[in-house]
Amino acid sequence: MGLIVVSNREPYAPHSREDGGLDWVPSIGGLTAALDPALQHAGGTWIAWGEAHPDVAEVQLPQHDPRYCLQRLRLSDAEVRDFYHGFSNRALWPMSHYFIERTRYDASAWQTYVAVNRRFAEATVTAYREGDTIWVHDYQLALVPRMIREMLPGASIGFFWHIPWPSTEVFRTLPWDRELLDGMLGADLIGMHTHDYVRYFQAACRRALDADTDEGTVYWQGRTSRVVARPIGIEVDAYEELSSRPDVEDEADRIRRTVQTQILLGVDRLDYTKGIPERLEAFDAYLDRHPEARGKVTLVQIAVPSREQVDSYRQLRARVEGLVGRINGKHTHSGWSPIQYIYRGVGREELVAHYRAADVMLVTPLRDGLNLVAKEFTACSRDGALILSRFAGAADEMREALQVNPYNPGGLAEALQVALNMPLEEKKARLHRLRERLHASDLRSWADEFVEEIRTP
C-alpha cells in the first residue's frame, strides 16, 4: 500500500555540473517545501512535470539519501505555454487570489489544460498498484481526480487545493466553473487551508452544480466527497534545530553586523499576490513619518524570480525595482540605504540565518492560501516580531502576530512602529504561544493524518 503524490512542480530541479553530472536542487514554493519531507518520511512515488533535462524520466530522491521515486512527465513547449503559463497562471491563479482584472480566460488554453491533466491522470494510473493511495495537488491539476476515478473507480483519491478558494461571485467568472468542480469531486477527500475556503467551495458546488452539501460533505452524481480545512504545518523541529546551530548563528551575526541597523525582513516569490510594492510603499510612509528611524532600520527584501514568462510577473519586477530605486534615492543618507533588495532564491541555511537575524518579519500578502514563511520565521526567531496580513490563510491560526490590512499603508506603517518598539518580553511571549501551536500540528502530522483520512471512507 504505497503513496503516489501528483503535482505539477517537481520537488527538485536538475542543474548540470561541470563534470557532466546533475545536481538536484530543491524547488522553491510552498507545495514542494511541504510535500518533500512528507514523502521522504512515507516513501512512494511522486509524479511531476520535468522542466529541465526532460530526457531524465525517473530519479530517486533526495539525491544523497534516496527515499522516493520521482517520475517526470515531459511536456511540449506548447503544453507548457497553454497549460502552465496560460490556464494555470493566467486564469486560475489570479481568479483564486481575487485578481479578476489579471485573468485571461482563453478557450484554447483551457483545452490544453484538459489534455495535460489527462496526461497526469494516465501517468498516475500506470504507476498505480492495487491498494495505493493517490494524493493530487493544487490548481494546475484540478481535473485529475475525476479522470483517475473514471479509470480506477475503486481507488482512494485525495486532493489538496493549496491556494485560496475565492467567494462564489469571483469563482463564477470562470467560464469552466462546472467542469473544474466536477474534476475535483472525483476525489474522496478534498483539503483546503481554512474553513472559509471550504465554505466558499461548498457554496460554489451548490450554485454552479446544484449539488447537495452538508457539514463537510458534497453529494454529486451518486458519490460523496468530504471537504475539510487542514492547514499545512512545517517541520518545526528541523527549523528550530537549524536556527540554533552555531554556523547558522554565526551567519545571523554576520548579517546583523553587515546591516548595522534593526532589520525588517521580507521573503517571497516575486508574485503580485505577495503585496511587495505595497510593503515598500508602507516602509516609505513610515520613514516619512518617523525621521528619527532613518539610519536605524533597514528592510531586507529577498525575492525569488517566479513565472517570468507571464506579463503580470515581468511588470511586477519592473515596479518593485523602480520602487526600490525611488525609495533608496529619496532616503539614502551617510552610507545608510533603507532597502537591501536581493533578487534570487537563497538556500535553507542562509534563509534561516536571515529569519534569525530579523527584528521584524513582514508577511503582508494581498491574498495567500496559507503562507509558510510566517510559520518558518516563527520556528526560527529568538525574539523577533511577526507582522502578518489578515488575508493570509495562516492568519486564522496565528492570532498572536500583529495582524494588518496590507491595502492600508498607514496601518502597516503604524504596525511597523509598534513592532520595532515592542518590549522584549512581549515579543518572546507571543512567539512562544505561536510556536506551541506549530508543534501541536506540524508537517508530519498534517501529511500522515491527511493520507489516513483519504484511506478512511
Residue numbers of the site for ligand G6P (CB under 6 A)?
A: 9, 29-31, 138, 162-163, 306-307
- Is the CB of residue 100 less than 8 Å from the CB of residue 166? no
Q: Is residue 96 part of the contact set for ligand ADP (CB under 6 A)? A: no
* Ranges within 296-315 binding ligand ADP (CB under 6 A): 302-304
Q: Which does residue 268 bind out of ligand G6P, ligand ADP, none, counting CB within 5 to 8 angstroms by kind?
A: ligand ADP
The rounded Cα 236 to chain-centroid distance in angstroms is 17
Residue 266, C-beta contacts closer than 8 angstroms, at least 6 positions apart: 276, 279, 299, 300, 301, 302, 303, 361, 362, 363, 364
Which 8-state DSSP code applies to residue 166?
P
Q: Is residue 269 part of the contact set for ligand ADP (CB under 6 A)? A: yes
Q: Which does residue 9 bind out of ligand ADP, ligand G6P, none, counting CB within 5 to 8 angstroms by kind?
A: ligand G6P
CB nearer to ligand ADP: give 27 or 337.
27
**105 residue type, one letter:** Y
| Spatial distance between the Cα atoms of 124 and 101, rounded to a whole number of angstroms | 35
Q: Is residue 229 part of the contact set for ligand ADP (CB under 6 A)? A: no
Number of residues that bind ligand ADP (CB under 6 A): 18
Q: Which does residue 323 bind out of ligand G6P, ligand ADP, none, counting CB within 5 to 8 angstroms by kind?
A: none
Q: Which does residue 307 bind out of ligand ADP, ligand G6P, none, counting CB within 5 to 8 angstroms by kind?
A: ligand G6P
Enclosing H/E stretch for 46:
strand 44-49
- Is the CB of residue 383 less than 8 Å from the CB of residue 431? yes
Q: Is residue 94 part of the contact set for ligand ADP (CB under 6 A)? A: no
Q: Which does residue 230 bind out of ligand ADP, ligand G6P, none, counting CB within 5 to 8 angstroms by kind?
A: none
Q: Which does residue 138 bind out of ligand G6P, ligand ADP, none, counting CB within 5 to 8 angstroms by kind?
A: ligand G6P
* Ranges within 18-37 binding ligand ADP (CB under 6 A): 28-30, 33
Cα end-to-end distance, the chain, whole Å = 16
Q: Which does residue 33 bind out of ligand ADP, ligand G6P, none, counting CB within 5 to 8 angstroms by kind?
A: ligand ADP
Convert 273-291 to b/e letters by CB count within 10 Å (16 or more is b): bbbbbbbbbbbbbbbeeee
Q: Where are the alpha helices (DSSP H) in 337-423?
A: 348-357, 372-380, 409-420
Q: Is residue 265 part of the contact set for ligand ADP (CB under 6 A)? A: no
CB nearer to ligand G6P: give 32 or 225.
32
Can you tell me which residue has the cell 519586477? 317
- For residue 361, give the nearest of 343, 345, 344, 383 by alpha carbon: 383
Which 8-state DSSP code applies to residue 8?
S
With CB under 6 A as the contact rule, which of the stretches 108-116, 150-158, 249-257, 368-376 interacts with ligand ADP?
A: 368-376
Query: By Cβ distance, which residue is nearest to ligand G6P?
Result: 29
With CB under 6 A as the contact rule, which of the stretches 52-60, 252-260, 343-351, 404-412 interacts with ligand ADP?
A: 343-351
Q: How far is the CB of 373 from ligand G6P (least distance, A)?
A: 11
Q: Which does residue 346 bind out of ligand G6P, ligand ADP, none, counting CB within 5 to 8 angstroms by kind?
A: ligand ADP
| Spatial distance between the Cα atoms of 432 and 386, rounded to a whole number of angstroms | 12
CB nearer to ligand ADP: give 145 or 275.
275
CB nearer to ligand ADP: give 287 or 358.
358
Q: How far is the CB of 34 from ligand G6P (least distance, A)?
A: 9
- For residue 225, give the nearest of 196, 191, 189 by alpha carbon: 189
Residue-wise DSSP of 313-349: HHHHHHHHHHHHHHHHHHH-BTTB-SEEEE-S---HH
- Is the CB of residue 198 less than 8 Å from the CB of residue 214? no
With CB under 6 A as the contact rule, which of the stretches 74-82, 142-150, 211-219, 262-270 interacts with ligand ADP?
A: 262-270
Q: Is residue 346 part of the contact set for ligand ADP (CB under 6 A)? A: yes
Q: How far is the CB of 393 from ligand ADP (least distance, A)?
A: 9
Burial class (CB in 10 A: 0-12, 13-18, 19+), 450: buried
Task: Give me the residues that bind ligand ADP (CB under 6 A), please.
Answer: 28-30, 33, 267-269, 302-304, 345-346, 351, 370-373, 376
